[in-house]
Structure 1
Amino acid sequence: MNLNKFFCGIFLIFLKMISVNCGYINMSIYYKFPPLHEYDYYERCFYENPSKLSTYCMTDIQVIPNNQSELWRNIEEFNEDNLRHFRHDKMFYGICIEWCENMLKDLSGSEREQLYNGLLPNKKLVDYNDDLYFKEDENRKKYNKIVNQCLNFKFQKQYNLSVTSYIKYCDTNKDKIEFDNLDIAFIIITIILFSLNGLSTLYDLHLKRKRPVHLQTNQYYKEPIKNIRQHVLLAFSVCRNYFRLTKLTYDSTSYNKELRFADCFKFVMMLAVITTHVAQLQISCGFQNTEYIEKFLHQPDKNILINGTGLMQSFFEISGFLIMINFHENISKLKGYKIRSIPLFFKMLFFRYIRLTPLLAYGVFFNSTIFLKLGRGPLWRFAAEREKVFCRRNWWITLFYLQNYVDVEKTCMPQSWYISVDLQAYIVCSFIMILCYKHPHRANLILGTSIFIATIMAAIPELAFDLSGLYFHHAEYFRHFAYFNVDFKKIYVPLHMNLVGHLCGLLTGKVFLYFKSINFKMSDSKLRIFVFYAIIPLTFALILTQEFYYQYKVPSILAALHGSLYRITYGLLFMYFVIGLADKIGWMAVEFCNLSVFRILGRLTYSVLVIQVSILFFMFAEIRTLQYQTDFRLLIYVLGYVVFIYAVAFFITIILELPITALMKVLIGSQKPPKNEVLENENELNQLNSSNKNGDIVL
């Protein structure tokens, strides 16, 4: 106990040491910069004269360089730190056209012409806007010039600077909500879904009422279903799926109970993902004190929260770890049966695909149809219209799990890149696990060689394209959901850059199983306990090495070497930490990680991953005024959003995700294996497909 307290104290001291501000911002100069976001009063613009046509346009702006201006020189100098600072010569404003016309009404024609400085020179952003908001050509022809004149009238008067601009989109007070065939189809499918849930629940209740009175308890919903017909009819029963979701018992023949801390891992990592997305979406939509995020990026301890390399490595490694454990458990049940590798491989992939796709497809359908119609505000189309356009255009990229490689800048449901990586890695991991099973004496060589090849594959793009060794957020790219960030497309989302994590997870599972077979206990040695506690500050120190990329221009050879060593070191630290937790090292942390509530929260991970960004769009893209951000407000936002997102995920899981897994079990269970062939009953292949008996996906 004293050793536990000692290391907890050391860890707290370590956190205090890294909580330093590694940069300085001269606020007296900073507050003279034009604000990055500014929105005219949206509703007031429309309803001051409701009988007249009123137009409100969102506009990209760029300041024209002027070396004679001290303010411009200060902006230019501040922009030099292009990793931690926003481009303060680029703005995003909401302009009420009627107010704009009133501003210019006293100027002569020649004076107005002098104010016009042309369109935005950023061709990539202009082309992106033209492609996304392709119906706005008429508004751009009509209002681009007057908007630019109004902006220059303001900027020349307040800042002695001139700007170029380009309209992104315009709203009017005469806009009407119209439904097309796809919208109607989505509504019909949703009605059918709710009807299935209602009818299945009523049928389940009917069967319950037919039992003797003393047996009409909730225990009925926990009893196994006896035949395929009832499996199908009761698949959508809300009551039965509720008890499936909240079931806390464990299979005594599996490692589930011993590894239940993995559910806590998934929840904590998803909490960090939501925190990152909250910060990113709020930056994209704007807030008053933009210096908050710039100071944030100057502080290493806070930087960890929004730079996701270590976070995503943890996700991938816990996924690989659980895939290995599930595979081993079910292969052990196949003794006495001849394993045919190729059929087994493709059946595993088939069930994995149908396990993932229905919920994702429903999310794509929602975002491409009525999502845009559910909100309104100056920023709503900025968030929601890209989902509608890109989901209708690139739905096939998402549903075939290619969005981490194909058309990344115009992907539908941008957060779903992780699901693509997970499925692609599952294909690779399944092949490797089957190969190891068929050649057990060469299993270590196969796995070690796979990790080495994956490490080299991750290093090659870093050398070839002169990229950073690790992905880290640039302040400016936050404003565009990282779509224009080359590192995001080439380092963060591709499978070959993340495969090391999954393979290290497989290695962790293999070492864990070996230790179990020889009854090896890490907790028997104080030295091993010491190393376990040392892993926590070592991991933080490893993550903090990304600060070098903020401070220095790292040569590509060193960046590639650092990225490779980082991934391998993180994998080894993760392996030791997981095996230590499984061996009950960790004092109160073990008890906390094993709390029953995480069993339920862990099962919601996939639903949360699919729906979270759409919900956050509702939170941030409907704002009318800019808010002032602080650490405490960010904490309150995150906690509130987490509660709401998980509540919605709880509902979605019961009405859609669990019914699909129930039907999938019927499909699996209906295939009765003859002896000496591949065993593919409900328990085995459902687990081989990386889902446990309760249907929660390994993510």
Structure 2
Amino acid sequence: MELDNFFAFFHNMKFLSIFFITILCLGQSLMIDECSYRIDFVRNEIGEKCVNQLEKLCNNKDWLLAFWDSSTRVIHNGLTATNNQDLGNYDLCMSIDENGLKGKFCPFQWATTIPKELLKEAIAVMELKNHINIPIPSVSEYQLPSKDVVNVKVGTTEEITLLGSMCIPDGCTPEEFTKVFNPYVYPVFYKNSTANCVTKDDITEMSTFQIVVTICICIILLIVVCSTAYHIWLRSADEGEPHDIIKAFSVLHNGQKLVEISRDNPDQIQCIHGLRFFSMLWVIAGHTFASEEILPLFNVKDAKEWRSHLYAQYILAGPYAVDTFFFLSGFLLAYGYMKQMKGVRATKQIMAIPLMILHRYLRLTPAVAAMFFVSISFLKSLGNGPIWVESVESVNKPCTDYWWRFFFYLQNYSSAICYTQTWYLSADMQMFIAAPIVLIPAAIYFRKNLYWVIASLVGLIVFCVGLTITILYTVDNYNYPYDTHSRLSDYLVGIIGGIIMHTMRGKTIKIKKVVSLAVWVVTLAVMIFLVLYLNDIIVHPTVDKTNYFYPIQRPIWSACILWIVISCHFGYGGIINKFLSISCFQIGSRLSYCMYCIHGMIILYNVGSIRSYQYFSDYAMIYLFFGNTVVCLILSTIWTLTFESPMIILNKMLLGKLGSPKK
């Protein structure tokens, strides 16, 4: 009686829709036997090249097995724990290249939905089969379930969604291939598009434009090598120093500048090097964790829960590093501007604005432009993986479509950004262009009435915060997370700090130890509160909390950084100052700009090269962060010596110093 019930269930349509593994294995034999018949049936609907390749598959079971084995299984372990974005076996698919038949890999080509209840019944039946030795009937005894039956089942129970990848012959489209070979009994929805399908030839193919760009980059590298070799030869022959143009591209000259340690320089604020370098590391850590969260994960539930943990703020509070960057940018600009322009008439300062902007543009653009051209030229040929081409092209598409936004620093008010991290460069350039509006009056009046200048800037900060809150409440569906006006308060706090530091330059500031300690305690308490309260905003967001917190916290954070800079510079920083002023951080600080430019490309390489599910944990992410950091340090050194340092020297040669209006 028990056996009769089992066979009755075995023939039931419901069982056919869930017993994937049995049908998949038996269905493969069925496809081989009836292959020619199926090709003849759809011959007029598929291309000639695809027909020829499918006929070859009919006559070679090993090839057919390789294509099937490279594709995603319908059932795999961890269905209820992973995010079910299966990548198949990319390398096996790419290895298929025999007798005019090449593998073409299509990631995330199909989707299906599996009811959990049917999986439970499948497990029960398979357990019964394991305990009772019953021969499995042939496939010819089965009837496929009707669509109506399947739709009713899918719509009335909890479901698991799967995204699968396919390996198909290079001459076929997914739609053509699945008309003949479609081993999945359960309804599978295909994209029927080859937009993201790749062969190994697609990785190495380059357009004429990409070839030209690659040649230009190689020419620059050749100039650097030749200039360095000539400089070394002159020194070894004791022939003196080369021309400044040779020095500009000499790794020997630029490398000495890079590793030079400055000590006891009254015009240099040592702690800023540590702040800049560690802010850069915080940015890399945040982007490393963010990139891993979008990958196929074994423990996707753990990754989602991780964001709600309070201790995760050591990563989730990474945006404060960007606020620190904005503060430092405004601080250093004001500090240098006050020194250069004090005593210069307003008309001459206004006339110097175009030259100042041009200096800034030539200072920033070469390194980030090199990243742009490397990305759109030969980056695709440097790696491979199931989602490699799709990942690179998804990043490069905004670069090629909106290149003018990239080179004119207008990306941050757009949803399509070429390398997301470069939004900061756009916002910073916009603030720099607008800065003379406050710097010129400040340079004229700060000696006469410093308090009035600072009070005016504080009032402007309050206005910017109020404007940001008003926009968030009044503009429906406001979706510009990288806007400039909401970060302007950071920049203005930095300008205030730069003016104050210039005013106190060369002076001795005496602060009572009790007062210094009290301010330090308040500063650190406020910074810790901002970091911890940000967790509540992330976990329990509301419109009011979000609209008020983000605009207000930025100038508060920057004010805390200002105290750290002032107290450390004037000898009240204690152990914090000693740590931030470690000599080697000067090198890291000089590399930080190129690190910021290229770290996104390094993370992209890691993400695009994955082959299978990843495991998310703090240890795994920290390990990956250190790997990204080491690679970033190495490449940013090359980037600095090749693209950034040469332009700094050429910039001075071509345009002279910003202080020229004094002359």
Superposition TM-score, scaled by structure 2 size: 0.74
Residues 63 and 431 (structure 1 numbering): CA distance in 2 closer, same or farther, change over 3 Å? farther
Question: Which one of the candidate residues 392, 396, 401 is aligned to 2:404?
Answer: 396
Q: 1:599, CA displacement in angstroms?
A: 0.5
Alignment correspondent of 2:634: 647
Alignment correspondent of 1:177: 204
Take 1:389 and 1:163, find their aligned partners in 2: how far apart are those partners?
A: 27
Take 1:426 and 1:338, find their aligned partners in 2: how far apart are those partners?
A: 18
Alignment correspondent of 2:518: 530
2:86 aligned counterpart, secondary structure? strand
Alignment correspondent of 1:348: 356
Spell out, residue by residue over 1:597-636, the C-alpha distance to the aligned partner (whole angstroms, 9 max, x if none). 1111100111111111111222221121223232222222
Is 1:464 aligned to 2:491, yes or no? no
Question: Which one of the candidate residues 421, 424, 427 is aligned to 2:427?
Answer: 421
Alignment correspondent of 1:207: 234
Question: Which one of the candidate residues 441, 448, 456 is aligned to 1:435?
Answer: 441
Residue pair 2:283, 2:319 contacting (<8 A) in 1 also: no
Take 1:424 and 1:188, find their aligned partners in 2: how far apart are those partners?
A: 33
Paired amino acid for 2:270:
R
Q: 1:175, CA displacement in angstroms?
A: 4.4
Residue pair 2:461, 2:489 contacting (<8 A) in 1 also: yes
2:198 aligned counterpart, secondary structure? strand
Correspondences of 1:483-562 after superposition (within 5 Å): 489-491=479-481, 493-516=482-505, 519-522=508-511, 524-556=512-544, 558-562=545-549
Take 1:376 and 1:599, find their aligned partners in 2: how far apart are those partners?
A: 36
Alignment correspondent of 2:56: none
User: What RMSD in Å do the two structures reach over aligned CA positions?
Assistant: 3.6
1:270 aligned counterpart, secondary structure? helix
Question: Which one of the candidate residues 383, 387, 399 is aligned to 2:391?
Answer: 383
Residue pair 1:269, 1:315 contacting (<8 A) in 2 also: yes
Q: 1:645, CA displacement in angstroms?
A: 0.6
Q: 1:662, CA displacement in angstroms?
A: 0.7
Correspondences of 1:185-584 after superposition (within 5 Å): 185-211=212-238, 230-249=243-262, 252=265, 254=267, 256=268, 259-332=269-342, 335=343, 340-406=348-414, 408-409=415-416, 411-440=417-446, 441=449, 442-465=452-475, 489-491=479-481, 493-516=482-505, 519-522=508-511, 524-556=512-544, 558-584=545-571
Paired amino acid for 2:486:
M
Residues 44 and 603 (structure 1 numbering): CA distance in 2 closer, same or farther, change over 3 Å? same
Take 1:615 and 1:39, find their aligned partners in 2: how far apart are those partners?
A: 21
Residues 106 and 412 (structure 1 numbering): CA distance in 2 closer, same or farther, change over 3 Å? farther
Is 1:54 aligned to 2:103, yes or no? yes
Spell out, residue by residue over 1:228-247, the C-alpha distance to the aligned partner (whole angstroms, 9 max, x if none). xx212321111011111111
1:286 aligned counterpart, secondary structure? coil
Unaligned runs of 5+ in 2: 1-77, 121-138, 152-169
Take 2:538 and 2:503, find their aligned partners in 1: how far apart are those partners?
A: 41
Q: 1:423, CA displacement in angstroms?
A: 0.9
Alignment correspondent of 1:44: 92
2:654 aligned counterpart, secondary structure? helix
Take 2:465 and 2:141, find their aligned partners in 1: how far apart are those partners?
A: 65
Residues 432 and 46 (structure 1 numbering): CA distance in 2 closer, same or farther, change over 3 Å? same
Q: 1:429, CA displacement in angstroms?
A: 2.2
1:169 aligned counterpart, secondary structure? coil
Return 597-606 or 307-316, whichever deviates more.
Answer: 307-316
Take 2:114 and 2:185, find their aligned partners in 1: how far apart are those partners?
A: 17
Return 496-505 or 529-538, whichever deviates more.
Answer: 529-538
Residues 552 and 593 (structure 1 numbering): CA distance in 2 closer, same or farther, change over 3 Å? closer
Alignment correspondent of 1:665: 652
1:57 aligned counterpart, secondary structure? strand
Take 1:451 and 1:672, find their aligned partners in 2: how far apart are those partners?
A: 28
Paired amino acid for 1:241:
N
Residues 396 and 31 (structure 1 numbering): CA distance in 2 closer, same or farther, change over 3 Å? same
Alignment correspondent of 1:32: 80
Q: 1:368, CA displacement in angstroms?
A: 1.1
Residue pair 1:548, 1:554 contacting (<8 A) in 2 also: no
Take 1:447 and 1:672, find their aligned partners in 2: how far apart are those partners?
A: 24
Paired amino acid for 1:459:
I
Residues 234 and 363 (structure 1 numbering): CA distance in 2 closer, same or farther, change over 3 Å? same
Residue pair 1:296, 1:302 contacting (<8 A) in 2 also: yes
Spell out, residue by residue over 1:391-434, the C-alpha distance to the aligned partner (whole angstroms, 9 max, x if none). 2222111111011013x23x212211111111111122233111
Residues 291 and 666 (structure 1 numbering): CA distance in 2 closer, same or farther, change over 3 Å? same
Residue pair 1:116, 1:145 contacting (<8 A) in 2 also: no
Return 572-581 or 189-198, whichever deviates more.
Answer: 572-581
Residue pair 1:437, 1:443 contacting (<8 A) in 2 also: no
Q: 1:516, CA displacement in angstroms?
A: 4.9
Q: 1:46, CA displacement in angstroms?
A: 3.5
Take 2:557 and 2:592, find their aligned partners in 1: how far apart are those partners?
A: 23
Take 2:140 and 2:328, find their aligned partners in 1: how far apart are those partners?
A: 66
Spell out, residue by residue over 1:203-257, the C-alpha distance to the aligned partner (whole angstroms, 9 max, x if none). 3234334537xxxxxxx77xxx8xxxx2123211110111111111258452x1x
Residue pair 1:63, 1:163 contacting (<8 A) in 2 also: yes
Spell out, residue by residue over 1:262-320, the C-alpha distance to the aligned partner (whole angstroms, 9 max, x if none). 11111111111111111122222333222332122111221341343322212211221
Is 1:612 aligned to 2:612, yes or no? no
Correspondences of 1:120-135 after superposition (within 5 Å): none
Take 1:53 and 1:666, find their aligned partners in 2: how far apart are those partners?
A: 55
Q: 1:496, CA displacement in angstroms?
A: 1.0
Residues 247 and 138 (structure 1 numbering): CA distance in 2 closer, same or farther, change over 3 Å? same
Take 1:115 and 1:373, find their aligned partners in 2: how far apart are those partners?
A: 48
Take 2:284 and 2:141, find their aligned partners in 1: how far apart are those partners?
A: 49
Paired amino acid for 1:318:
L
Return 657-666 or 338-347, whichever deviates more.
Answer: 338-347
Paired amino acid for 2:258:
L
Structure with bigger gyration radius: 2
Alignment correspondent of 1:684: none
Residues 528 and 174 (structure 1 numbering): CA distance in 2 closer, same or farther, change over 3 Å? closer
Kindly tell me the number of residue pairs found equivalent between the two proteins. 545
Q: 1:508, CA displacement in angstroms?
A: 2.2
Is 1:634 aligned to 2:621, yes or no? yes
Paired amino acid for 1:403:
Q
Paired amino acid for 1:327:
Y
Take 1:641 and 1:115, find their aligned partners in 2: how far apart are those partners?
A: 51
Residue pair 1:364, 1:395 contacting (<8 A) in 2 also: no
Take 1:62 and 1:172, find their aligned partners in 2: how far apart are those partners?
A: 22
Take 2:390 and 2:445, find their aligned partners in 1: how far apart are those partners?
A: 53
Residue pair 2:386, 2:609 contacting (<8 A) in 1 also: yes
Take 1:111 and 1:49, find their aligned partners in 2: how far apart are those partners?
A: 37
Paired amino acid for 1:384:
V
Residues 461 and 166 (structure 1 numbering): CA distance in 2 closer, same or farther, change over 3 Å? farther
Take 2:180 and 2:412, find their aligned partners in 1: how far apart are those partners?
A: 40
Alignment correspondent of 1:83: none
Superposition TM-score, scaled by structure 1 size: 0.70
Take 1:345 and 1:661, find their aligned partners in 2: how far apart are those partners?
A: 19
Residues 446 and 279 (structure 1 numbering): CA distance in 2 closer, same or farther, change over 3 Å? same
